Amino acid sequence: MEADVATGLWRRLFGRKGPEPLDPSRTDLVVVASSFDHAEACSAALSRATGFDADAPAVLRHHLRIPAAHRERVCEIAAQDGYAPDQHLDASDAGALAPLILRRVQIVDALHCSQERSRMAGLAQRHDGFADGWDALQPGIAAGPRE
């Protein structure tokens, strides 16, 4: 995972503990960038993002719709690249497409976002599903008292 690599590099270079890794289950994470338009470049989505810190790790989430019968296999394949499911789907109808969100922590830039978007689209398609889009989450700025 890229965030782990960055933290390890920080420790080797500066000999002390680097920034804490971003916990994807934090409750203060907010969507800072997203695209659900297949024709929009990731660079365009990131350039219009508000509150996005390109130098900080983010939780990159891919929103898929997958037949419930393929969920476990899709999650296994995605786990090989450090992804974990963020949302459980209702498996009541094994033939229906159900939402599945796969997430991982990484530094998000246009190139890597585009590569991952393409990878997720291929994964979904190979399992009779669809990749609807992606979003990136980072900690929100706490509103403090104004002077």
Q: What percentage of residues in the chain have a pLDDT greater than 90?
A: 70
Pair 116, 60: CB distance under 8 Å: yes
Residue 16 lies in a domain: no
Torsion angle, CA of 49/100/70/97, rounded to 10 degrees?
-100
pLDDT, tens digit (0-9, with 9 covering 90-100), for 80-119: 999 999 865 555 555 689 999 999 999 999 999 999 999 9
Residue 31 lies in a domain: yes
Residue 10 lies in a domain: no
Coil, strand or helix: which one is 9? helix
Residue 83 lies in a domain: yes
Coil, strand or helix: which one is 29? strand
CATH number at residue 111: 3.30.70.970
DSSP 89-139: --TTSTTSEEEEEEEEEEE--HHHHHHHHHHHHHHHHHTT-EEEEEEEEEE
Q: How many domains does the chain have?
A: 1
DSSP 30-41: EEEEEE--TTS-
**What distance separates the 2 farthest-apart alpha carbons in the chain?**
57
pLDDT, tens digit (0-9, with 9 covering 90-100), for 17-34: 556 789 998 999 999 999
Domain that holds residue 113: 22-139
Specify the pTM.
0.80
Q: How far apart are the C-alpha atoms of 6 and 21, rounded to whole Å?
A: 9
